[in-house]
């Protein structure tokens, strides 16, 4: 186990060339005569030589790695996001550190420490304090993912304002009253935007909006818990707008478990359009955001060398309203 690998020097000696030539051959840069290249290549192949990442990193003054920071990893949203990010990063040969803060106390310090190990960091909105974000950006290139630009830090996000359109659809097209919003705006820029759009939709339709959202997390289990609260009310809501599909599915499961009819007794909508949303009965009305693309764009931005004047500071990706059965359509 753990055989000692050979170094440039040893390969150079065996192939009877200088270490410079070995380096040139192994990384394909500079001019090398065909015969020499052939010979060196054979030795490299034969001994399974691969340049030591540590030495290379030090010489090149770069880690060849980037990091992406999340609140947690649960659910298909993060999975998709990471896939998009990871794939794009791999393309350029960079490896990816994934940091889940899991609302740990030391999370901010961990992220700061991470800055010493990577060439850039993507930070998901709502994971670390703004102050920490600023300090981080002083050490290393940073992109905010699913949040707003801050000072010189660029952001990549989806168009959450479409929730206003969805809300208007429920109020006007279906004529529902007594809507509820499920999701906690505190600490999540996405949820904040969606809650605001929910209220905007009410204003557009000239219907008074609820004063407070049902503050709860973004996982499916949170949705079940929210359902428990909402359906026990004396005057339960006619329609429930959830901050994401996961909670919407949780609410839907809670409703189904109570024998409620959807959308007959209650309409439910989400945000994301994850795989489950088109599979449940009835299908979940939601807003599709290009999650994978979000991750990919973030990675590209991070790896394209930020900070030049005239750089893109805010990238907002389009979203799309997807009408299925759970809102009352069809």
Residue ranges that bind a copy of itself, judged by CB under 8 A: 1-3, 5, 50, 52-55, 57-58, 61, 63-65, 72-76, 78-79, 82-83, 86-87, 90, 95-100, 102, 104, 106, 110, 113-114, 116-117, 137-141, 152, 219-221, 224-225, 250, 253-254, 256-258, 275-276, 279-282, 306-307
- Select the binding partner of residue 21 from DNA, a copy of itself, none (C-beta < 5 to 8 A, by kind): DNA
Strand-strand pairing, 65-70 and 267-269: unpaired
Nearer residue to a copy of itself within complex by CB, 201 or 250: 250
Q: Which member of 1, 2, 3, 33 binds DNA (CB under 7 A)?
A: 33
Write each residue from 38 to 77 as x if it is in contact with DNA (CB under 7 A), else as -, in one continuous string. Answer: -----------xxxx-xxx-xxxx----------------
Q: Are 255 and 268 in contact (CB under 8 A)?
A: yes
Q: Distance between CA atoms of 239 and 173, rounded to whole angstroms?
A: 13
Piece of 8-16, 91-99, 235-243, 254-262 that binds DNA (CB under 7 A): 8-16
Q: Does 203 bind DNA (CB under 7 A)?
A: no
Number of residues that bind DNA (CB under 7 A): 33
**Residue list 225-254, contact with DNA (CB under 7 A):** none
- Considering the complex, what minimum distance in angstroms separates the CB of residue 202 from a copy of itself? 30
Contacts of 326 (CB under 8 A, 6+ apart): 248, 252, 262, 263, 267, 268, 269, 280, 282, 283, 284, 285
Give the tokens for residue 195.
Answer: 């809650």
Phi, psi of 155 (to 5 degrees): -135, 150
Q: Does 21 bind DNA (CB under 7 A)?
A: yes
Q: Are 100 and 70 in contact (CB under 8 A)?
A: yes
Report how far apart, in Å, the C-alpha atoms of 258 and of each of 138, 241, 243, 287, 306 are: 52, 19, 22, 26, 52
- Select the binding partner of residue 326 from DNA, a copy of itself, none (C-beta < 5 to 8 A, by kind): none
| First and final C-alpha spacing in the chain | 62
245 CB burial (10 A radius; 0-12, 13-18, 19+):
buried
Q: Are 301 and 154 in contact (CB under 8 A)?
A: yes
Q: Does 17 bind DNA (CB under 7 A)?
A: yes
- Considering the complex, what minimum distance in angstroms separates the CB of residue 13 from a copy of itself? 21
Q: Distance between CA atoms of 239 and 166, rounded to whole angstroms?
A: 11
- Select the binding partner of residue 65 from DNA, a copy of itself, none (C-beta < 5 to 8 A, by kind): a copy of itself
Report how far apart, in Å, the C-alpha atoms of 86 and of each of 31, 41, 51 are: 33, 30, 23
Nearer residue to a copy of itself within complex by CB, 147 or 154: 154
Binding site for DNA (CB under 7 A): 5, 7-9, 16-21, 23-24, 26-27, 29-33, 35-37, 49-52, 54-56, 58-61
């Amino acid at each position: 186990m753990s055989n000692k690998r050979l170094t440039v020097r040893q390969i150079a000696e065996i192939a009877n060339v200088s270490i410079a030539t070995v380096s040139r051959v192994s990384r394909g840069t500079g001019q090398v005569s065909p015969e020499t290249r052939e010979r060196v290549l054979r030795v490299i192949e034969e001994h399974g030589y691969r340049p030591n990442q540590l030495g290379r990193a030090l010489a090149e003054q770069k880690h060849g790695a980037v990091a992406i920071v999340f609140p947690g990893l649960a659910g298909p949203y993060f999975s998709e996001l990471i896939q998009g990010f990871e794939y794009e990063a791999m393309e350029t040969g960079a490896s990816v550190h994934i940091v889940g803060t899991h609302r740990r106390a030391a999370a901010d310090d961990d992220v700061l420490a991470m800055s010493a190990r990577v060439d850039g960091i993507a930070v998901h909105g709502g994971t670390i304090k703004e102050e920490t974000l600023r300090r981080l950006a002083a050490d290393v290139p940073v992109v905010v993912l699913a949040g707003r630009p801050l000072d010189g830090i660029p952001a990549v996000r989806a168009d959450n304002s479409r929730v206003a359109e969805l809300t208007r659809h429920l109020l006007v097209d279906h004529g529902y009253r007594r809507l509820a919003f499920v999701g906690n705006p505190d600490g999540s820029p996405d949820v904040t935007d969606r809650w605001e759009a929910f209220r905007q939709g009410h204003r557009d339709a000239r219907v008074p909006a609820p004063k407070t959202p049902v503050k709860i997390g973004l996982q499916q289990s949170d949705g079940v818990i929210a359902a428990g609260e909402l359906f026990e009310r004396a005057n339960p809501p006619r329609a429930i707008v959830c901050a994401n599909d996961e909670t919407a599915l949780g609410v839907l499961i809670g409703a189904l478990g109570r024998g409620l009819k959807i959308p007959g007794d209650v309409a439910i909508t989400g945000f994301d359009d994850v795989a489950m949303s088109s599979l449940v009965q009835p299908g979940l009305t939601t807003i599709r955001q290009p999650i994978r693309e979000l991750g990919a764009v973030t990675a590209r931005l991070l790896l394209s060398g930020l900070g030049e004047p005239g750089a893109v500071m805010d990238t907002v990706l389009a979203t799309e309203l997807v009408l299925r059965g759970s809102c009352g359509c069809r």
